[in-house]
């Protein structure tokens, strides 16, 4: 009995339409990673509700987390383009990015409401 080798070429059974460009997928995944942490999502809700920039000292008190931990979360949010920071003396003050990237705004609306 002879063995017959079956060869299949990858991706030849049907064609699919890939609508999301790789760069856009990377950007969206980065945004989703930033939003996937409960503390970061809660911080974004707090910043959204705040009328003025919020001091990192107030965030450490509100979340009962160390300043380095809050700074880590804020760095993730900054790199995702979700928050802006400004120095005031020894403290850093944060606010939502203005404007928020359109993709971020579209994701945050249903998550945080208004």
Domain architecture of the chain: domains with CATH: 37-112 (1.10.10.10)
pLDDT tens per residue, range 74-111: 999 999 999 999 999 999 999 999 888 888 888 888 87
Q: What is the pLDDT of residue 103?
A: 82
Non-local CB neighbours of 35 within 8 Å, separated by 6+ positions: 41, 44, 80, 107, 108, 111
pLDDT tens per residue, range 23-53: 888 888 889 999 999 999 999 999 999 999 9
pLDDT tens per residue, range 52-77: 999 999 999 999 899 999 999 999 99
Q: Interhelix angle for 56-63 vs 38-49, to 10°?
A: 130
């Amino acid at each position: 009995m002879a063995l017959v080798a079956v060869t299949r070429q990858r991706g030849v059974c049907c064609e699919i339409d890939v609508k999301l460009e790789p760069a856009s997928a990377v950007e969206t995944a980065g945004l989703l990673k930033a939003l996937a942490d409960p503390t970061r999502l809660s911080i974004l809700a707090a910043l959204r509700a705040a009328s003025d920039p919020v001091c990192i000292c107030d965030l450490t008190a509100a979340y009962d987390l160390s300043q380095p931990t809050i700074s880590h979360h804020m760095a993730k949010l900054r790199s995702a383009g979700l928050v802006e920071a400004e120095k005031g003396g020894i403290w850093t003050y944060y606010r939502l990015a203005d404007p928020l990237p359109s993709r971020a705004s579209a994701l945050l609306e249903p998550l945080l409401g208004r």
